[in-house]
Amino acid sequence: MTEERQTALKKLESHLSCAFRDITLLDNALVHRSYVNENPSLSFADNERLEFLGDAVLELCISDLLMKAFPDYSEGQLSKLRASVVNEQPLAELAKKCRIGSFILLGKGEESSGGRSKPSILANTMEAITAAVFLDGGFDRAYEFVRRLFTPLIEEGNRSATYKDYKTTLQELSQNRFREIPRYRLIGEYGPDHDKLFESGLSIPGIIETTGKGKSKKEAEQHAAHKALDELLKNTHEGE
């Protein structure tokens, strides 16, 4: 391994907040098969075996974290939430936050086609790095690595799943009962850019109007939908 590569890997360790005893494991986790295919004379192995192991390590760690965080959730709810966390999109976003794309070894063809920003490559590399942490320091170290990086994704995944249910349920109820689709509008944005608060309005014409606030437009809309659902269901029960 060249001195330049070692320096680059040390930089990535700082992005990951994780120091390796065997830095070659991290290096191997960053080797895409396109690089190996274009450099057959080099004794490199690609990261696909690590990706395979990392997928299993992630699933076990995330499953345990979910069971501890949500002791009242059913198996179905836990499975749904795990699937929202351990999939290509959130893994790729996490890889971007850790700046992993800059350190992946790619073949020239993959490089020229934008491979460093491809979600599939980033997500697979994130899994491979998780395996490298496991092999380097054991399960406890891998668990802490996953807990630190993935807890915000778990919290966001739980909010998204809950909010999706509110909006979906409200739309189905509104279409079936009133033949109307809820309409959403942005009322305002408040606070500094790093800590914005959004307020959204919801209207089912002639039926109900609510507002909701949240850290994103989507979250604000979901709070408005939750209020509308509560009100409509309350009125239904009172009329029985």
Say if residue 189 carries a ligand binding annotation.
Answer: no
> Measured between alpha carbons, how far is 8 from 2 in angstroms, rounded to an integer?
10
User: What gap in Å lies between CA 41 and CA 179, rounded to an integer?
Assistant: 67
127 is catalytic: yes
* Candidates 27, 55, 199, 219; catalytic one: 55
Q: Give the active site residue among 27, 46, 110, 127.
A: 127
Rg of the chain in Å (alpha carbons): 23
**HSE toward the beta carbon, residue 70, CA cutoff 13 A:** 19
Helix pair 48-69, 119-137: axis angle to 10 deg: 80
87 is in an annotated binding site: no
Q: 54 — phi, psi (to 5°)?
A: -60, -35
**Dist CA 138 CA 226 (whole Å):** 43
28 carries a ligand binding annotation = no
Active site residue 110: no
For residues 188 and 220, what is the distance between their CA atoms, to the nearest angstrom?
10
Supply the DSSP string of 61-123, one letter for each residue.
HHHHHHHHH-TT--HHHHHHHHHHHSSHHHHHHHHHHTTGGGG-B--HHHHHTTGGG-HHHHH
- Write out the two tokens for 14: 């700082």
Catalytically active residues, by annotation: 55, 127
Q: Residue positions in the annotated binding site for Mg(2+)?
A: 51, 124, 127
Q: Residue positions in the annotated binding site?
A: 51, 124, 127
